[in-house]
Every structure is written in structure tokens, then in C-alpha cells.
């Protein structure tokens, strides 16, 4: 019986666990995470408007674990030992014959004054804080922006910031408060959102202009202050700052010196999701740096695709076969605007961008229901 450890309890980890159980009914699978719960991060964008509450997006995994006959080790990972054959945590170690790392990445917090900004996708609690501060703001300026990892530009998640921006604009207009609250969108890039393709960027920038959203683009970030955003192009005041920094690898990676790392601090992997030089160790999701085009996203959909490839390859290797599975390079997203949504679908062969529509918003809500049903 193969002993398989999976680090994480997010999209990549849970998809890998399901796939391994389907392909290897007798495998001994252990999930390692701080808590047996799954948070559906894509819908954090709806918390400020009240469309979703935190409890709607935090799911207890006990039923899921029992259904798929998964062991659960509750603890915070602190490192790996014996070439990955042992996962070290603050509550003990887990031995394994094969390992999949699906723990996700973490946000860079090195920018001076970052504590003055709220990172919307950091947690449910942060999204609820944004809701509460937004409700208390009678007038002033809200600054919303994102940046990448300067050493690995693809290690970023900018899409949700467009959704927070347009969602907050729509909410304020519904409430009759938009004329008293200024919105400013900022980014070091002069054309933010480029991984979605030129048509999407053109449309988003045009919408900002039409909605009287001020833009501060193309200037490197310098620092945040309590009520100010400072860039190399100048500073501007803000009563509420929402900022998504670039991403890097998980915290425990800093103490695992022999794991190969990318320039941005992620785990370096190959097209089969393998960690070079580490036998039967695979990565799926945000903690990895994968070969592919510069527009390849850090999002749940591709994490799921990577998890399926990692699961198939790990089982093949455990059975003495070649690991040949690869994941499809694909970007699928709906940029939600609270009442409309803009669909973007990108592959190496094609790029499709649909204008914002009621259908797009409803499709995003349907996807949430469809995806979460497997964990309820």
C-alpha cells in the first residue's frame, strides 16, 4: 500500500487527493494542513457588497475526508526531510512514499508600510474588514491596485483587484454614495491585466475612464503611509488602500534550502509538475514555478489542472512507470462587476474575450455552486 502525503487544503491539494483516490482506491492518503477546512477564495470579491458572507465560503472538510477515506494531520508545515520522504510539522512528522505539495504561496509583504494596506485575498477576515471600513466611509478616496513579484513577474494575482474595483464602484452607485467617494486604480504596469490579453486590457481601461475611476499607472511602488500611496511617479492620498502584492513560495520553503527555487522564491518544477532531483515529489498550484508562457495564471483552475497531472505522475512513478502527464496551459476567468461579468478564455492557440454581461455574472455564481457541491 502506497503512503501518499499531500500538503495543503486548497484547490490543488483537494483535487490531487480526489484524483489519487479515484485512481488508487487502496492508497493511504494523508492531507496535511493547519485546519480541516476549505476556503473558496474566488468569491471573497462578493463579501464587501454582502452578496456573500464569510460562512458561505468556509467549508468544513470532515465529510469530504470521510467520503474519500483520507487521513488528516492537523499542523503547520515547517519543512521536509529525507529527500521529501518526511514532512515536518509543528505537531509531528509524516512519513510517505510520495509527496504532492499543494500548499499555495504567500503574498510578499516587503514594501515599506504594507501594514497600511489591506490585502483582499489574504483571508475571509480581511474581506470582512474591507466591508466594514467601506460601510463606515462617508466620503474620501479608495485606492485599489496590485503589483507583481519583481524577481518573477508571473507570480501575481491581479484579476481579483479589477473585481473589487468594479464591484465597489457598482455598490457605491447603488447606495448613492459614489459622488462622495473617489476611486483610484494604481499599478506599476502601464497596461495592467496583460495576461488576459490586449482586448481585455483595452476594455478594462476604457471602463475605468467611463466610470470616472482615476488611474495611476506605470510607476514603481515606493511605499504606503497611513493615508497615502507613494510611487516613483508621485504620491496621492487615500482613506482606504486595497493592494495585492506579488507572490512567493510558502514560509517553510525558506528553511528547506536544498529544494530548487525559482528567482521569485517559488519551488522550481518541470512540465510534469516534478521537483528536479527530488524523487516522487510533485507540486501543484501557487507554490510552484512552472514552465509555460508569461501569461500563465496563478488561479484555481490551473491549480486543478496541475493537481491532476501531479497525481497521475506520482502514481505512475510509484508503480515503476514513466511520469508523462502534463497539464493544459489555459486561462479561464470571469472578471465580475457585481451585476455583470467579462469572460476571458486564453490558450496558446486562441484568445476569446466577451463583453461584460448579466450572463457572465450568473455563470460565475453557477460555477461557485457547482464547484462547492463536492465539499458539502
pLDDT at 376: 86
Q: At 263, list the grid cell.
A: 528567482
First to last CA, the chain: 29
Instruction: Name the architecture of domain 108-246.
Output: 3-Layer(bba) Sandwich (3.50)
CATH, domain 3-105+249-318, list 3.40.1280.10, 3.20.20.70, 3.50.50.60, 3.40.30.10: 3.50.50.60
3-state secondary structure string, the chain?
A: CCEEEEECCCHHHHHHHHHHHHHCCCCEEEEEECCCEEECHHHHHHCCCCCCCHHHHEEECHHHHHHCCCEEEECCEEEEEHHHCEEEEECEEEECCEEEECCCCEECCCCCCHHHCECCCCCHHHHHHHHHHHHHCCCEEEEEEECCECCECCCCCCHHHHHHHHHHHHHHHHHCCHHHEEEEEEECCCCCCHHHCHHHHHHHHHHHHHCCCEEEECCCEEEEECCEEEECCEEEECCEEEEECCEECCHHHHHCCCCCECCCCCEECCCCCECCCCCCEEECCCCEECCCCCCCCCCHHHHHHHHHHHHHHHHHHHCCCCCCCCCCCCEEEEEECCCCEEEEEECCCCEEECCCEHHHHHHHHHHHHHHHHHHC
pLDDT digits (tens, 9 = 90+) for 306-320: 999 999 999 999 999
Sort 367 into a burial class: Cβ within 10 Å, 0-12 / 13-18 / 19+.
middle
* pTM exceeds cut of 0.85: yes
Q: Which residues make up the CATH 3.50.50.60 domain(s) of the chain?
A: 3-105+249-318, 108-246
Q: Look at residue 200 in the predicted model and tell me its pLDDT.
A: 97
Asked if the model's pLDDT at residue 257 lies above 80, the reply is: no
Radius of gyration for the chain, computed over Cα atoms and rounded to the nearest angstrom: 21
Inform me whether the pLDDT recorded for 330 exceeds 80: yes
pLDDT over 80 (residue 160): yes
Q: Please, what is the average pLDDT of the chain?
A: 96
Q: Are 189 and 205 in contact (CB under 8 A)?
A: no
Tell me the Ramachandran region of residue 191: left when phi exceeds 0, alpha when psi lies from -120 to 50, beta otherwise: beta
Mean pLDDT value across residues 281-305: 95
Q: What confidence category does residue 46 fall into, taking pLDDT thresholds of 50, 70 and 90?
A: very high
pLDDT grade for 128, boundaries at 50, 70 and 90: very high
Task: Report whether pLDDT(1) > 90.
Answer: no
Condensed to tens digits (0 to 9), the pLDDT of residues 188-238 reads: 999 999 999 999 999 999 999 999 999 999 999 999 999 999 999 999 999
Cell of 235: 504620491
Return phi, psi of residue 141, to 5°: -130, 135
Amino acid at each position: 500500500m502506497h503512503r501518499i502525503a499531500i500538503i495543503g487544503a486548497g484547490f490543488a491539494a483537494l483535487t490531487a487527493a480526489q484524483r489519487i483516490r479515484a485512481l488508487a482506491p487502496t492508497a493511504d492518503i494523508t492531507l496535511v494542513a493547519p485546519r480541516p477546512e476549505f476556503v473558496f477564495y474566488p468569491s471573497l470579491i462578493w463579501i464587501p457588497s454582502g452578496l456573500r458572507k464569510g460562512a458561505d465560503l468556509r467549508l468544513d472538510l470532515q465529510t469530504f475526508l470521510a467520503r474519500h477515506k483520507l487521513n488528516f494531520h492537523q499542523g503547520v508545515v515547517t519543512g521536509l526531510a529525507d529527500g521529501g520522504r518526511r514532512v515536518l510539522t509543528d505537531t509531528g512528522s509524516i512519513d510517505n512514499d510520495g509527496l504532492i505539495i499543494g500548499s499555495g504561496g504567500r503574498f510578499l509583504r516587503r514594501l515599506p508600510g504594507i501594514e497600511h494596506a489591506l490585502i483582499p485575498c489574504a483571508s475571509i477576515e480581511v474581506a470582512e474588514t474591507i466591508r466594514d471600513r467601506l460601510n463606515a466611509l462617508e466620503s474620501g478616496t479608495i485606492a485599489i491596485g496590485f503589483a507583481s513579484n519583481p524577481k518573477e513577474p508571473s507570480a501575481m494575482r491581479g484579476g481579483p483587484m479589477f473585481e473589487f474595483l468594479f464591484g465597489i464602484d457598482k455598490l457605491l452607485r447603488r447606495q448613492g454614495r459614489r459622488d462622495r467617494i473617489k476611486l483610484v486604480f494604481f499599478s506599476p504596469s502601464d497596461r495592467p491585466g496583460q495576461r488576459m490579453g490586449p482586448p481585455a486590457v483595452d476594455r478594462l481601461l476604457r471602463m475605468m475612464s467611463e466610470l470616472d475611476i482615476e488611474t495611476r499607472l506605470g510607476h514603481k511602488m515606493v511605499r504606503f503611509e497611513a493615508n497615502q500611496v507613494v510611487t516613483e511617479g508621485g504620491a496621492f492620498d487615500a482613506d482606504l488602500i486595497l493592494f495585492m502584492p506579488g507572490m512567493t513560495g510558502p514560509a517553510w520553503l525558506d528553511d528547506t534550502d536544498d529544494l530548487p527555487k525559482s528567482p521569485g522564491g517559488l519551488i522550481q518544477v518541470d512540465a510534469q509538475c516534478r521537483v528536479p532531483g527530488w524523487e516522487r515529489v510533485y507540486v501543484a498550484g501557487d507554490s510552484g514555478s512552472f514552465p509555460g508562457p508569461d501569461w500563465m495564471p496563478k488561479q484555481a483552475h490551473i491549480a486543478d489542472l496541475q493537481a491532476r497531472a501531479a497525481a497521475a505522475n506520482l502514481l505512475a512513478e510509484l508503480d515503476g512507470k514513466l511520469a508523462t502527464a502534463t497539464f493544459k496551459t489555459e486561462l479561464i476567468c470571469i472578471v465580475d462587476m457585481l451585476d455583470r461579468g467579462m469572460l476571458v478564455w486564453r490558450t496558446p492557440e486562441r484568445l476569446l474575450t466577451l463583453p461584460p454581461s448579466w450572463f457572465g455574472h450568473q455563470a460565475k455564481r453557477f460555477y461557485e455552486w457547482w464547484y462547492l457541491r463536492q465539499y458539502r
